[in-house]
Amino acid sequence: RVALPVFASDALSSVAYAPDEILITLSLAGLAGYAWDWRIALLVALVMLVVIASYRQNVRAYPSGGGDYEVATTNLGPNAGISVASALLVDYVLTVAVSVSSGIQNATAVLPFLDGHEGTAAAVVILVLMALNLRGIRESGTMFAIPTYCFMVAILGMIGYGLFRILVLGEELRVHSAQYGIEPDPEFAAFSGLAMALLLARAFSSGSAALTGIEAISNGVPSFRKPKSRNAATTLALLGACSISMMLGVIALAKLTGLKLVDLGSSHYTLDGQRVDVVERTAIGQLAETVFSGFPIGFYFVVGATMVILFLAANTAFNGFPVLGSILARDGYLPRQLHTRGDRLAFSNGIVVLAVAAALLVLVFQAEVTALIQLYVVGVFVSFTVSQIGMVRHWTRHLAGERDPAARRRMQRARVINAIGLTMTGTVLVIVVVSKFTQGAYLAILAMIAVFGMMKAIRRHYDTVADELALAPGETGELPSRVRAVVLVSQVHKATMRAVYFAKAAAPSTLEAVTVAVDPERTEELMEAWDRLDLDVPLKVIASPYREVTTPLLEYVKTLRSESPRDVVCVYVPEYVVGHWWEQLLHNQSALRLKALLLFSPGVMVTSVPYQLRSSRLARGRRGDQRVRRGHGPVGR
């Protein structure tokens, strides 16, 4: 028995929308289009067979789970790698957007009040998934396997029972939408020649959504039981078999029950020749209602299982995206905050980025599955294609060094499989891009190019910094000759005194207190108070013609440095620490700003001398442990 891993839900759940998209696209040509539905479905099934066969080679060759990014980088170099990575990052966002939108579409069958608020509802579900993943839901395989099995049982059961009723019992099952005719989109009404070819290409592209999710499996090999590659390959085969039979079953049942679906933007239902504006449910919803007529629990089970597996599919992206993000951050293509070194914070960043992007997408597209699918399919087929190119190169490379005839034969056979896969996915990619370009494919391509450019720029920045910071062999730098200490003073109180004494304890070469004369009266008071203290530290008053603090201080520090450039200036800033962020807001942020500006001055270091006020000690007692326990990435990087 091979356990269905967590991410199987991604691949299987595509059955919930791929048949719908075929039927909706064909409806553009009116009823005549539906003559082609099973041929398109068979073609999609064929492509799926080939892709699955190809991916079985992938998981065998790359059991470490680096997935398509690893395959492309190893075999085709970093640019190909980050091309695939761009496609996959976009793909993860769309997996969430499409799955949740489709889930909401199914939920609307049971909860009609969602109607008209799909975008908001989808965004809410995404934020809930984000919250669950931020809290860290335990990914027990069983918990995720049960809904997956339920979905398979539900769909295959529905198909079986439906076919049984129709073929064996000879009942005539008709779905509600069977009564309608279809008013086609005028553009495709003639249904001949080039327009027809384009329409069939579009329908096939939409149906290719059935393959989405397969690309995620090769990233997940490490979570299989041993022997990993083998189990993964077996699972892939099983998944493929299930996906194909479910998809063909749904299409067959749809055909037998006269099911129709339209895209209200272009084609319309008609009744007795009159246009009617009704919104019919998803194919699965309509079929479940008809097959289980008089047995509503069956209907609820099918629709519920579909909704749950779609949300699960969205959830797999919340696992995959941060992992890929972490790998890309490790390689310097994404900000280091996404690279995890043993704590959840980096993962949290990835989870939030994914959720925000997906939520924006569903809000903008109002959770319309048909619109989002166009973007989704492009991303998935880009990664399929580049990955297959990589696999062909992989086998060619290994064949060059292999002498054993048996191994060579095995490799040659694998190369043929991947080459067929490449031809197939490449062709589909071209079809998808050409037939879908104006429907949104261009958006997906733009997004991938943007992500690609961003990753290149980030890597360039990191490389520049590393070069600049690298020590030449034997280079260690230069010991400054003296330390000149400056304590910033604005008032005489305990925090100031602490800073003065801490500075004194460090025994600098010179030590002085410095204040900026902004308000003559207060400066006078300060000077008197300082004299009364009778310290052996002189107080220097800096004039400020424009009543500012920052500029005169920066200028003064610069002067100190220019007097003897090998010296280091150490600026001591008295700070007080309060317990709440809102208390901190009540204190002038100018110390923070001054510190930030001093960091731009060469040869200056800035020392914060904190004075912990009572409220900070209380806060530390209250939250200290918890805050401190949240670990973090490397320091100074």
> Please, which of residues 560-579 interact with a second copy by CB under 8 A?
568, 570, 572-578
Quote the least distance from Cβ 525 to a second copy, whole Å: 13
Q: Distance between CA atoms of 79 and 87, rounded to whole angstroms? A: 12
Q: Compare residues 409 and 627 and give the one whose CB is closer to a second copy.
A: 627
- DSSP letters, 606-631, are EEEEEEE-HHHHHHHHHHHHHHHHS-
Of the candidates 10, 11, 40, the residue with the CA atom closest to the CA atom of residue 23: 40
Q: Is 512 in the site for a second copy (CB under 8 A)?
A: no
Cis amide linkage into residue 227, ω under 30° from 0: yes
User: 236, 204, 205: which is closest to 218 by C-alpha?
Assistant: 236
Side chain identity at residue 19, one-letter code: P
Closer to K ion at the Cβ: 55 or 347? 55
- Sole binder of a second copy in the list 169, 297, 505, 543 (CB under 8 A): 505
Candidates 461, 524, 564, 565: give the one binding a second copy (CB under 8 A). Answer: 461
| 181 within 8 A of 273, measured Cβ to Cβ | yes
498 binds, among K ion, a second copy, none (CB under 5 to 8 A by kind): a second copy
Does the protein bind a second copy through residue 633 (CB under 8 A)? yes
Binding window for a second copy (CB under 8 A); candidates: 10-18, 369-377, 425-433, 482-490? 482-490
Residues numbered 181-240 forming contacts with a second copy, rule: CB under 8 A: none
Give how many residues touch a second copy by CB under 8 A.
Answer: 108
Given a second copy, K ion, none, residue 406, with its beta carbon under 5 to 8 Å by kind, binds none
14 binds, among K ion, a second copy, none (CB under 5 to 8 A by kind): K ion
Tell me the one-letter amino acid at 491. Q
Q: Which of 453, 585, 618, 622 binds a second copy (CB under 8 A)?
A: 585
End-to-end CA distance of the chain: 47
169 lies in the site for a second copy, by CB under 8 A: no
Q: Which of 335, 363, 410, 527 binds a second copy (CB under 8 A)?
A: 335
> Which residue lies nearer to K ion by CB, 15 or 594?
15
Is residue 426 a contact point for a second copy (CB under 8 A)? no
476 in contact with a second copy (CB under 8 A): yes
DSSP secondary-structure letter at 572? E
Residue type, 608: S
> Angle at which helices 37-61 and 67-76 pack, to 10 degrees?
70
**With binding defined as CB under 8 A, does residue 546 bind a second copy?**
yes
With binding defined as CB under 8 A, does residue 587 bind a second copy?
yes
Residue 194 touches which member of K ion, a second copy, none, C-beta under 5-8 Å by kind: none
Shortest CA distance to 68 belongs to which of 87, 53, 51? 87
Q: What is the DSSP-derived secondary structure letter of residue 16?
A: G
Binding site for K ion (CB under 5 A): 10-11, 14, 95, 212-213, 216, 243
Place of tokens 């999609």: 44
Beta strand 539-543 with 510-517 is parallel
One of 519, 524, 528, 563 touching a second copy (CB under 8 A): 519
Q: What is the C-alpha to C-alpha distance for residues 294 and 305, in angstroms, rounded to an integer?
A: 19
Among the candidate windows 8-16, 61-69, 319-327, 604-612, which touches a second copy by CB under 8 A? 604-612
Q: Return the one option of K ion, a second copy, none that residue 637 interacts with (CB less than 5 to 8 A, by type).
A: a second copy
Nearest to 88, CA basis, from 421, 368, 387: 387
* 605 touches 569 (CB < 8 A): yes
